[in-house]
Amino acid sequence: MVEATARGVGRTRGANPEDRVIDIKVVDVYDRIASVTVRSPIYHEYLHLVRTSEGWRIANALWQRTLPLRRSVTRSGPGTSRATGPPERLR
């Protein structure tokens, strides 16, 4: 992740301000530990946090590049197709 950021990956993906949205979801907090999910146009991350005397710190990070979107396609008849449903992540 650090190397990709140093190469400027964030400049080519999420170039528009509306594409730079970062969704942070606190999944669970228990006393001094927490689990967080972070989603952005560039990365999808699962973080484990620990509260120290200096504040919250990342203890563990599991991440992957965000996969491009695709639309589900159904065949309506010979030679025709249409997109249905919400976009899905390519796998």
CA distance 81 to 71: 11
Residue 42 near residue 66 (C-beta atoms within 8 A): yes
* Mean pLDDT rounded to a whole number for the chain: 79
pLDDT tens digits for range 27-53:
999 999 999 999 988 889 999 999 999
Q: pTM of the prediction?
A: 0.62
Closest CA to 68 of 34, 91, 45: 91
CA distance 28 to 39: 16
Give the residue numbers spanning the domain of 14: 2-89
DSSP string for residues in 38-59: EE-SSEEEEEEEEEETTEEEEE
